[in-house]
Amino acid sequence: MIPMKKKKEKLQIYFRILQIFARLPCFEYWKLQFLNKKFLQLLKSGEIFRVRQEKGLVKPYVILHSRAGSNWEMFDKDFKTFQRLPKVPSSDYCFFHSDKETIYVGTQLIVIGREIEGIVVFRYELENHKWFKGPSMITPRVMYGSASHGKTAFFAGGIQMDDNGTLLLCELWKSIMLMQKVGL
């Protein structure tokens, strides 16, 4: 009986901690990963964001890109606090000086741009405060329409890079890093 009681107490403490961290500004989450491995796992699990949504603590953020290099900045809705995101991990000159398409889905900022080798996708993960490359689009394209809802982004139409043909298909991006092709 005693081990069961301790397990229940630990679970209650976990949920209290989760409730407290859910109230912190998202700007501060990346620091939690340095506390210990359990907090890192908590961040990666997405539980904090689920609790934020359940409690109505989800707040809009404005993310701006400055043309000087790869600087992205995230502001709260009142522009009172901001955070400079880390630099995009591309060393390609073409990427930094070409047009980029962006969309925010779930807790990820998706940036699609052009490198010398072709279209590239970078995603910034709020939980980790890091950029990651990929996955690639199934059908690389430019000048497309995009929208997001919750943890899903939609990329429709556009011009294919290979033969400059107009595309009549849609791809879905789920924040679990999955691209799916959907015919129109």
pLDDT digits (tens, 9 = 90+) for 63-107: 888 765 567 888 877 787 777 888 888 888 888 888 888 888 877
Verdict on whether the full-model pTM lies above 0.75: no
**Domains of the chain, start order:** 2-54 (no CATH), 61-183 (2.120.10.80)
Task: Over range 174-183, report the average pLDDT.
Answer: 54
pLDDT digits (tens, 9 = 90+) for 41-63: 777 777 877 788 788 877 777 88
Cα(37)–Cα(32) distance, integer angstroms: 9
Contact between 160 and 147 under an 8 Å Cβ cutoff? The reply is: no
